[in-house]
Amino acid sequence: MRLSKLMIPGLAFAAAAGLSLVAAGFAVTAVEESTERGVRAALDGGRYTWAEVTADGLQVLLEGTAPDEATRFSVKSLVGTVVDAARIVDGMEVPPADGLAPPRFSAEILRNDGGISIIGLIPAGSGRAALVEELQSLAGAENVADFLETAKYGIPEGWPEAMGFAVEALKLLPRAKISVAAGEVSVTAISGSEEAKAQLEERLGRTAPPGLRLALDIAAPRPVITPFTLRFLLDGNSAEFDACSAESEESRDRILAAARKAGLQGDADCVIGMGVPSPNWARAAELSIAGLAELGGGSVTIANADITLVAAEGTPETRFDHVVGELEGALPRVFALHAVLPVPEAQDAGGVPEFTATRSPEGQVQLRGRLSDAALRKVADSYAKARFGSGNVHTAARVAANLPADWPVRVLAGLEALSYLQRGAVTVTPGNLELRGMSHRKDAPAEIARFLSAKLGEAETYGLDITYEKPPEPTDKPLPPELCEAQLASAQSDGKITFEPGSATIAADSAGTMDRIADILGRCGPVRLEIQGHTDSQGREAMNQNLSQARAQSVLNELRARRVVTSTFAAKGYGESTPIAGNDTEEGREANRRIEFKLIRPAAQAGSAEGSTGDETAGGEDAEGAEDAQETTE
C-alpha cells in the first residue's frame, strides 16, 4: 500500500520533535549538573558542609539543618552569588532556640557632694527597694537619683556579694564612682592625701569578700601648700634644703638644678603642690639661690612672694651690696626682697637675752631663760601644757625687762615648732630662732619652715637642724600579708595537716599543727586568704575534687573552733589538678595530699603577673572558684 503524500511530512515533523525533546532533556540535565557543581563548590569553600543542594531545572533546592538563623541567611546569600536568588528554594531548617541568654547585669554608682545616682540593669529579685533605701540613708532621700532597670532573670553568682561590697565601700568614699558586675567591683575615687589613699586601699582590700575581683583607682590630688615656701642654706662647702615647694615637675627640676650648681650634693626633692603665688616661682628661686651662692654662704627663704636673703656673718659689705642690687633688679614682679647682713651683737653685762625650751625623749619639757612679763610667763606655761601635757612641763623662766617687742611671738612660735619634734630644743634670741632635734617625719623640716615663715613675718631669720629617724615598730603590729603566708607554709614543715584515710576528718596528731597555724593567723591581722585542698590522682577525678573541698572546709571549721576570725577566708578544693610531685610513687602521692594557705590578691595584680598559676593567687581566673568556696563557707 502506497503511503499518503500527507503522512510523509507528518512523520518527518514527529521525528524532528522527538529529536528536539531528547536534545532538550540532555541540555536540562547538563544545566542542572553544572548548577549543582557550582553551588556545592561555593558551599564547600564557605565550610557549609552540612548544606545539601538539588537542582531541578532552573530551581535550586537548599536542604539541611543550620546551626542558627544567621548561618541560614549566610548560606542563602552565598548561593545567591552563584545563581539568581529568584531560583533558590529554601528548604533548610533551624533547631528551636533554648531561650534568650540572660543579659549582663551591671550598675554604676556615682557619689559627690550633690548626692548619689545609680544607673544600670539589675536582676528583678535582687532587692532594688532595699538597695535604694540604703543609699538614701547615706545621702538623704531627696539626694538619691534611681535610674535602675530590672529584668526577670535569675540572680547571677557573685552579684549579691559585689553589690553589698559596693554599698559598704560607698560609706568610706564621699566622692567616688563604683562599677558593679557579678563577682566584680571597680572603684574610682579621690582621697585627701597619699596617706589617706594607702589607708583606703588597705581597708577596702580587707573588706572585700573572698573571691571578689576588685580593681581600685584611688587618686591623691596635689596638696595645697600655704605658705608656698622654699628655704636653702649654704655653709662653706655644704648646701641643703630645709623646705622646697614647686608647682610642677619642670619647676622642681629647674630649682634643683640651680641648687646643685650652688653646691648641693646627694638626693633632694621638692614637694609639688598647689598655691604658687606666681608663675615665675622657679625663676625667682633660681635667682635667689644663685645670689646666695655668689655671697658664699648664708640662707635664703621664700614665703609666697617675700624673699629673705641672710648673708653669712663676715660677708664684705661691697659684695653684699652688689649681689643684693643685682638680685633686686632681676627678680620678677610681685616678689619683694629683704636682705640682711648680720653684724656681731654688742653684749652688755647681762649677756644676750635668751629663752630656751627643751623636750626630752621621754616627753618632758623644760622652759628656761627670759620672758618679757608675768603674763607671757603664764601664757607660755599654759600653751606648753596644752601642747605637751600638763604633767610634762616644768617652767623655770624669769621675767626680765628691755626685751624686744616681738619677743612673745617668737617664744610661742618656738614652742609650736618644738611640738613637731620627738626630742630637741629651741633657742630664741633677739636676732634669731634656732631649732634642733629629731622627728619621725621626713617632711618635718619643710612643715616647720612653712610654719615659721608664716609666723615670724618678713626679714626674720631662723635656723633648723633636724634629723630624721624611722619610727619604732609598734609591739602589736600585725605581720605583713606576705610574711603571714610564708609563716603559714613554714608551720607545716615539721608536721603537715593530715586526715583520716579517705575522709575529711583531720587526724588527731595534726592538732599541734592546727594550733600553730591558729597562733600565726592571730598575729597576721585581717588578710584575704584561700585555704586550698589538694589530693593525689588515685580514685575518680570527681571524687577527689569533692574530697579536697571537704578537707579545705574542715580546716576552716577547725580555725573557727580556735576563735580565729575567718570572715575573709575561703575554702577551695583543687582535687588532683595541681600536683607538686609525681603520682607514680607513694612519696609523691603523699606530697600531693596537702593543705595550702594562699593570699587572695587583687585582680589587677594577679592578672599582670606572667606565668602566674592558680596556686599563686585566687584573683583573676580563679576568682570564680573562690566565689564557690565562699558559698560553701557560708
Q: Which residues pair with 560 in a beta bridge?
A: none
The predicted pLDDT at position 607 comes to 38
120: exposed, middle or buried (Cβ count in 10 Å: 0-12, 13-18, 19+): middle
Place of cell 603664764: 378
Please state whether the peptide bond connecting residue 472 to the residue before it is cis, i.e. omega within 30 degrees of 0. no
Q: Which residue has the higher pLDDT, 478 or 462?
A: 462
* Interatomic CA distance for residues 621 and 614, integer angstroms: 7
Contacts of 238 (CB under 8 A, 6+ apart): 263, 265
Cα 92 from chain centroid (whole Å): 55
User: Cell numbers 503524500 correspond to what residue?
Assistant: 5
The H-assigned helical ranges of 154-297 are 159-172, 194-207, 249-262, 281-295
Q: What is the pLDDT of residues 262-277, one digit of tens each?
A: 999 988 999 999 999 9
The C-alpha atoms of residue 516 and residue 528 are separated, in whole angstroms, by 19
- Region of 381 (left: φ > 0; alpha: ψ -120 to 50; beta: rest) is alpha
DSSP class of 152: -
Q: What is the pLDDT of residue 612?
A: 39
Once rounded to an integer, what is the mean pLDDT over residues 107-127? 91
In the predicted model, is pLDDT for residue 20 greater than 70?
no
**Residue range 375-384: mean pLDDT, rounded:** 93
CA-CA-CA-CA torsion sign (402, 406, 408, 412): negative
Least confident of 134-148, 230-244, 464-478, 552-566: 464-478
Res 32: pLDDT: 76
Band (pLDDT 50/70/90 cuts) for residue 632 is very low
| pLDDT score for 6 | 63
Cβ atoms of residues 243 and 218 within 8 Å? no
- Return d(Cα 258, Cα 252) in angstroms, integer: 10
The distance of Cα 513 from the centroid of its chain, to the nearest Å, equals 36
pLDDT at 28: 58
CA atoms within 13 A on the CB side of 33: 6
Q: Please choose, from the candidates 494, 486, 508, 507, the residue with its C-alpha nearest in 3D space to the C-alpha of residue 596.
A: 486
Cis ω for the linkage preceding 67 (within 30 of 0): no
Alpha helices in 571-615 (DSSP H): 586-592, 603-608
What is the structure's pLDDT at 233? Answer: 93
- For residue range 489-532, what is the model confidence (pLDDT) as tens digits? 888 887 889 998 888 899 988 889 999 999 999 888 778 889 99
- pLDDT for residue 460 is more than 70: yes
The listed range with the strongest mean pLDDT (40-54, 82-96, 187-201, 423-437) is 423-437
Which of 332-336, 347-351, 630-634 holds the top average pLDDT? 332-336
> For residues 597 and 509, what is the distance between their CA atoms, to the nearest angstrom?
20
Confidence category of residue 153, pLDDT binned at 50, 70, 90: confident
In this prediction, residue 358 has a pLDDT band, given cuts at 50, 70 and 90, of very high
* pLDDT tens digits, one per residue of 55-113: 887 788 888 888 888 888 888 888 888 888 888 888 888 887 666 677 889 999 999 98
pLDDT digits (tens, 9 = 90+) for 526-581: 788 899 999 998 888 889 999 999 999 999 999 988 888 888 888 999 999 999 99
Residue range 378-392: average pLDDT?
92
**Is pLDDT above 60 for 584?**
yes
262 vs 260: CA distance, rounded Å:
5
123: left (phi over 0), alpha (psi -120 to 50) or beta: beta
**Quick check: helix, strand or coil at residue 202?**
helix
Checking if the pLDDT of 10 tops 70, the result is no
Q: Where are the alpha helices (DSSP H) in 389-463?
A: 407-418, 444-456
Confirm if 111 and 174 have CB atoms less than 8 A apart: yes
% of residues, the chain, pLDDT over 90: 44
352: pLDDT strictly greater than 90: no
* Planar angle of CA 597, 598, 604, nearest 5 degrees: 165
Per-residue confidence (pLDDT) for residue 14, from 0 to 100: 67
Grid coordinates belonging to 490: 613554714
